[in-house]
Structure formats: C-alpha cells, structure tokens
C-alpha cells in the first residue's frame, strides 16, 4: 500500500477487497466488467453495518442472510459508495499505473441513491445524550473506573468540552500545559500518531472549571510524576478478568488510540445508563455540548472555535484572525456546563 495512506484507510480498502473476492471469487483484474460492480453494489445493500465480531467474520453471503433473519441494520448509501470507490480505485491503478488494461469498465459507474423519508433518516441519526443521562454517565464512570484511565476522564472531557473521542485519547502529557493562569489542552497533530479531522480542529482549550472540580489538575500531576508519555492509561486485565495493572493507552492496528475504548464505552456505559440501541455513542456527547451551548446563548463564533468545526463559515476566513482567546473560551465553556446537566 501507499505509505502516505493511513492504517485505517488501508484496512478499509482491504475489507472492501475481501468482500469483493467473497462475492466474485479471485478473478483476474482483466476479467472484471461493469456487471460485476453492479452486483457488488447490490450485495452491499444487504451487508450488515454491525461491528459484532461474529458478523464481520462471516462471508458476505452468510452475513447478508443473517441480516435478513435478524433484521440487522444494513449498509447505507454513503458507506456503500466508499466501498465501490475502493474497487474503482484498483481499476484506475490497473489502467494508469500498471497498464494491464486498456479501458476501465468501471469508469462513470454511480451508486444509485435510495430515496428515504426524512423521518426515517432522522430516526437513524446519532442522538444527543439527555442532560439527566449525562449526570448518570459521569456518576457511573467516576464510581467504576480507575481515576487515571481514559474510561474515567474521557466522558467528563467529552461532555464539558465537546471534544472528539480521538482528540481526547491521543493527548500526550505535554499537550496539557499552563498558559498564563489557565490549564489548557492542546489539540494537535504535531506528535507521531496524532490526527485531527481538519485544519479547524487544531485548537487550544482551557480546562473548564467543572472538569477541574473532578481533580483533573491532580491527575495531571500524578501522570507527570510517573514520567508518563501519554496522558491516559487503560486497565489491563489477565485471562481471569482480574485487574493486573494500568498501561498507557496505545494505538490499535488501525492507527487509532480510542477504537477499543469507543466500543467499550457503548457496551458498558451507554448500556448502563439505559440508552442501548438508541443510536447513542461517545460522539453523542459532542451533540449534547452543542445543544447546551445553544441553550446557554454562546456566540456562534466562540462556539465554533471551542468545538473545532467550520459550521458554515468561509474556510479561508476562518483560518485567520483568531488568537488563543483563552479567557473568552473559558467563559463560554463554564457557561455551557450548567445546561449540560440541567433537567429538561
């Protein structure tokens, strides 16, 4: 694979190729035709999106059959288009770089868009976590997880800052700094293994007062005293599910720090607070923060800068003119906090 590709992207292409081979067999590229791609596109409509290991290990035909029997959620247009694009890329490479085919039979192929009612689309969207449930979530995490782990701190930081899961999990100890009178989190892609979604995701956030009230400064001091590299640890269990020790969080085979944690959060925390199977995940905290910021009347520009998103602004203009604005950010973050846990 191209060394410029991320590990996650390479794994995604490998998955698409695996499903293609399962459907059509190990055909030579020179035998591919447009009908093959149309059949692949049709098959993907019935392929489950679930990440349950038993499903992902099934062949494409077995997985499609199980989806019908169990009424599992299946692949939508956006994901299906991505899988189709992977196969089209291979044909483009075979033609333009390898020269083993003269014409590309997949050129111009488009995935048919399925018209669905807006009510259905809305029902499948990721939901916010209600304020009363955020309180339950934080109480569960602080009562059940070690106070040096990502399981303890990520939900608190996600709720009170709106930061993305991976932005939190990839923090190094040196990404927490004192700036003037503020303790700040530096969300960056400077260090090896770090990634951000886009330019606007790069930001410096003062740690909200609500987060400090849980002992965040003391936690950072403990990590510094232990000569830590990464900010967070994860619990390491032996084969008998007994806690052995804490180890620093590390990247998965797909190059993500929080891939395993994200699954664990949904399974353990979301299930515990009674929101299982309701399209709620860690990213839902970002929606909750945005909802709370609107209710708190936070200026849209400050809201955008805190959340690290573009939100309809001109991309070029949004890159310029914003200083660290730590005082303004902290005022906004502290103003949002009560609305996160305020009963509706």
- Does 184 reside within a domain? yes
Q: Report the pLDDT value the prediction gives residue 49, as an integer from 0 to 100.
A: 78
- pLDDT for res 323: 58
Vertex 318: Cα angle to 208 and 212 (nearest 5): 5
d(CA 175, CA 194): 11
DSSP output for 42-90? HHHHTSB----HHHHTS-HHHHHHHHHHHT--B--HHHHHHHHHHHHHH
Helix (H) or strand (E) holding 137: helix 131-144
Distances (CA, A) of 132 to 305, 336, 338: 26, 15, 12
- Tally of residues, the chain: 344
| CATH number of the domain where residue 209 is located | 1.10.443
Establish if 231 belongs to a structural domain.
yes
Are residue 25 and residue 151 in the same domain, yes or no? no
Is 211:154 a contact under the CB 8 Å cutoff?
A: no
Neighbours of 59 (CB within 10 A): 12
Q: Is residue 2 part of a domain?
A: no
- Residue 325 domain-assigned (yes or no): yes
Long-range contacts of 259-266 (CB under 8 A, 24+ apart): 260/234, 261/150, 261/151, 261/154, 261/165, 261/169, 261/234, 262/165, 263/51, 264/151, 265/151, 265/154, 265/155
Closest CA to 182 of 328, 335, 289: 328
Contacts of 147 (CB under 8 A, 6+ apart): 153, 215, 219
pLDDT number for residue 197: 87
Query: What confidence score (pLDDT) does residue 133 get?
Result: 94
- Domains in the chain: how many in total? 2
Q: Is the pTM of this model over 0.85?
A: no
Question: Does 273 lie in the same domain as 186?
Answer: yes
The residue among 86, 108, 124 that closes a domain is 124
Domain identity same for 89 and 137: no
> Are residues 172 and 294 located together in one domain of the fold?
yes
* Residues of the domain holding 69: 7-124
In order, the DSSP letters of 266-307 are IIIIIHHTT-TTSS--TTHHHHHHHHHHHHTT--HHHHHHHH
Shared domain for 92 and 208, answered yes or no, is no
3-class DSSP string for 185-197: EEECCCCCCCCCC
**Cβ count within 10 A of residue 272:** 14
Q: At what angle do helices 7-24 and 34-45 cross, to 10 degrees?
A: 110
Among the three residues 71, 96, 124, which one is the final residue of a domain in this structure? 124
Strand partners, 186: 204
The Cα 142–Cα 139 span in angstroms is 5
Q: Is the domain of 224 the same as that of 109?
A: no
d(CA 224, CA 296): 35
| Residue 214, C-beta contacts closer than 8 angstroms, at least 6 positions apart | 142, 156
**Are residues 153 and 253 located together in one domain of the fold?**
yes
8 Å CB contact between 236 and 214: no
Same domain, 294 and 154: yes
CA distance 64 to 24: 15
Q: Do 270 and 319 reside in the same domain of the chain?
A: yes
169 Cβ contact list (under 8 Å, min separation 6): 150, 154, 232, 249, 257, 258, 261
pLDDT in tens, the chain (344 residues): 454 566 778 888 999 999 999 999 999 999 999 999 999 999 999 998 766 666 788 999 999 998 888 778 888 888 899 999 999 999 999 999 999 999 999 999 988 766 555 444 444 456 789 999 999 999 999 999 999 999 999 999 999 999 999 999 999 999 999 998 999 999 999 999 899 988 889 999 999 999 999 999 999 999 999 999 999 999 877 666 666 789 999 998 878 899 899 989 999 999 999 998 788 999 999 999 999 999 999 999 999 999 997 655 555 544 554 557 899 999 999 999 999 987 65
pLDDT of residue 324: 77
Q: Residue ranges of the alpha helices (H) in 162-258?
A: 165-169, 209-212, 216-225
Inside any domain, residue 152: yes
Please indicate, yes or no, if residue 30 is contained in any of the structural domains: yes
**Residue closest to 172 by CA, chosen among 191, 148, 153, 150:** 191
Q: What is the pLDDT of residue 317?
A: 47
Q: Are residues 252 and 205 in the same domain?
A: yes
In a domain, 234, yes or no: yes
Asked which of 109, 124, 139 is the last residue of a domain, the reply is 124
Q: Which of 12, 73, 19, 18 is nearest to 48 (CA)?
A: 73
The answer on 180 and 55 residing in a single domain is no
């Amino acid at each position: 694979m191209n060394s410029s590709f991320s590990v996650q992207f390479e794994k995604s292409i490998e998955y698409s190729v695996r499903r293609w081979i399962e459907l059509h067999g190990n055909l030579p590229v020179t035998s591919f035709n447009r009908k093959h791609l149309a059949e692949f596109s049709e098959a993907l409509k019935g392929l489950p999106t679930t990440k349950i290991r038993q499903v992902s290990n099934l062949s494409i035909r077995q997985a499609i059959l199980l989806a019908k029997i169990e009424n599992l959620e299946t692949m939508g247009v956006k994901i299906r288009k991505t899988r189709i694009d992977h196969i089209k890329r291979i044909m483009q490479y075979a033609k333009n770089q390898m020269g083993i085919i003269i014409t590309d039979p997949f050129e111009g192929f488009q995935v048919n868009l399925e018209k669905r009612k807006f009510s259905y689309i809305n029902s499948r969207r990721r939901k916010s976590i209600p304020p009363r449930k955020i309180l339950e979530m934080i109480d569960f995490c602080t009562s059940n997880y070690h106070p040096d782990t990502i399981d303890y701190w990520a939900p608190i930081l996600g709720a009170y800052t709106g930061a993305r899961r991976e932005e939190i999990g990839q923090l190094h100890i040196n990404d927490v700094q004192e700036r003037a009178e503020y303790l700040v989190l530096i969300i960056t892609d400077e260090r090896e293994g770090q990634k951000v979604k886009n330019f606007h995701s790069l930001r410096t956030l003062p740690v909200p007062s609500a987060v400090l009230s849980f002992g965040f400064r003391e936690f950072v001091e403990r990590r510094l005293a232990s000569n830590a590299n990464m900010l967070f640890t994860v619990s390491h269990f032996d084969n008998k599910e007994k806690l052995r020790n804490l180890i620093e969080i590390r990247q998965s085979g797909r190059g993500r720090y929080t891939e395993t944690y994200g699954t664990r959060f949904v399974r353990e925390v979301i299930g515990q607070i009674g929101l299982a199977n309701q399209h709620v995940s860690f990213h839902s905290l970002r929606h909750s923060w945005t909802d709370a910021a609107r209710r708190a009347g936070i200026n849209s520009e400050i809201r955008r800068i805190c959340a690290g998103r573009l939100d309809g602004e001109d991309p070029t203009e949004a890159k310029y003119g914003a200083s660290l604005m730590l005082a303004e950010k902290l005022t906004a973050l502290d103003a949002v906090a009560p609305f996160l846990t305020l009963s509706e």
